[in-house]
Structure 1
């Protein structure tokens, strides 16, 4: 099969996307088409246009980070003839910690000359009442979303990236928000249970275990079980939050009484304060006071290209 399209974000990982694509492009021997993304949202357009253009099996390979992958999956959701492959080239690469990705040209070559084996994966959906957001990895509200927003809109990020020190921006804003973040309250409506949580640092709903560049926030999450997990961190002293963040990389935070987790097909929450939100690490919205937000599962929403170990 030669119906292969690469969608490349050259700016992913502070330019890592361009370097990785150059290396792979020189080694690929089969026929393909490639497109370079030019702006936010462009990968959605490219992926959807290619999905619409054919009814034959189509392999779309993302060369980029979690944001690029998110856009491509959003673009092809509902097109059952499309299979999504990934060459990780971002800075966080949380997607690649759970999902199968192509690590060598040999793996990809074997796949292209096979029958396009794939595994159906779920999506989560955040409904704000005004907008619906597809969620590949995770989405939520609170401290982590505010840090991500501050980092992505900081003039220091671009300057430090020039010297390969972009991650320092995240550390700086994490420390800043640790002392300034205003905690919030929300009400969880789950089945017939209604519970209000106060003094909340953040809520995150996960379709897979990782977020924030390797933090194992939701150890039990599986992207194909038609369930989503909610993690709530609340009633926690500021100094202890920093300590718990250190344990998240190993999935050990769940033993603390201030960390609670739920598993279900859907959740409805009422936010009682204005709080920053994110979807797959990107800003989604600022919540309205006493407004309801819902999370649900779209089962078997897209096809993940599943390579064999041959070629490793």
Structure 2
């Protein structure tokens, strides 16, 4: 394996933690005997092109430094290749890192683990989800949560996280069930009214909301959580349980497992790893062992 490592950095992640984390991570890797270079894109498409170029040129590992956004881009760059992925998680949510038991907001510890794994077994094969040619590591969201994202992305004021808090309140006021058409694997199409449908390769999204709490990234299957039609009061009562994963026991919540799922609904956008995929219908498939992840524990 090449001793050259590429740090793939989002300098704005976690209010600047990405830029600050790159230096200690690089120092640890250099002290472990690796040559380190850094890739920073001008925007997401440019960053992905640069990451893919590094992989094509034979870098020994691609190391995402930032949050779930840059990790998602890195997954797309290494999926289906022999290049292992390291994650120095210093973003706001860090759901992908948490799902795999990786250090969070500790760049030196993350880099030490990456160096040890590169000198050891080279990481562990984990699954990804795929929609079209794009890959995702955590959750594909649709319904109420994606409507909140849509509204928040359209807003220009207020800024930051507060924008999405305001969007959430607005969507609560407009809450209504969504008529879905859902197909699991090659089974029959089902017509379901739901508040949201989440397709989990991993367990959480949104910074620790364990919407698909039992999902594993090594079983070749998605966990799909369907929240049925509910009132605003019920949704507000159930919502805090998502952080513990105990919402799965609520009578309005059903769960399914499948290697492929097709979701169709009018006026609904699908989001994966927090990024928009486009309007439904969308078909997601699991890709077992799509990437070798350095330091994965679960």
| 1:40-119 alignment runs, 5 A limit | 40-54=44-58, 58-80=60-82, 82-101=83-102, 103=106, 104=109, 105-112=111-118, 114-115=119-120, 117-119=122-124
SS, match of residue 74 in structure 2: helix
Q: Relative to structure 1, is the Cα distance of residues 192 and 9 closer, same or farther in structure 2, using a 3 angstrom cutoff?
A: closer
| Corresponding residue for residue 297 of structure 1 | 286
Secondary structure of 2:212's match? coil
Cα drift, residue 23 of structure 1: 3.8
Q: CA deviation at 1:12?
A: 1.0
Does residue 191 of structure 2 align to residue 196 of structure 1? yes
Relative distance call for 1:109 and 1:265 in structure 2 (3 A) is closer
Partner residue in 1 for 2:256: 262
So what's the TM-score if we normalise by structure 1?
0.84
Please state how far the C-alpha of 1:202 moved relative to its aligned partner: 1.0
Alignment length (residue pairs): 287
Cα distance between partner residues in 2 of 1:140 and 1:266: 15
Q: Which residue is equivalent to 2:141? A: 140
The residue matched to 2:44 in structure 1 has which SS? coil
Q: Which moved more, 1:95-104 or 1:206-215?
A: 95-104
Judge conservation of contact 1:66–1:90 (CA < 8 Å) in 2: yes
Which string of whole-angstrom CA distances, capped at 9 and with x for unpartnered residues, describes residues 250-272 of structure 1?
A: 0010111111110011123332x
Structure 1 residue runs of 5 or longer lacking an equivalent are 159-165
What is the TM-score normalised by the length of structure 2?
A: 0.88
> Per the alignment, do residues 169 and 206 of structure 1 end up closer, same or farther by CA in structure 2, a change over 3 Å counting?
same
> What is the SS of the residue equivalent to 2:198?
strand
Relative distance call for 1:307 and 1:195 in structure 2 (3 A) is: closer
What secondary structure does 1:210 align onto?
coil
Find the aligned partners of 2:282 and 2:296 in 1 and give their Cα distance: 37
User: Which has more strand, going by share of residues?
Assistant: 1
For the Cα contact (< 8 Å) 1:43–1:72, is it kept in 2? no
The 1-side partners of 2:137 and 2:116 are apart by 26
Instruction: Name the Cα RMSD after superposition.
Output: 2.1
CA drift of 1:68 comes to 0.5
Deviation of the 1:307 alpha carbon: 7.1
* 8 Å contact kept, 2:148–2:167: yes
Counterpart among 168, 175, 178 of residue 172 in structure 2: 178
Unaligned runs of 5+ in 2: none
Would you say the 8 A contact 2:114–2:295 is kept in 1? no
Q: What displacement does 1:152 show?
A: 3.5
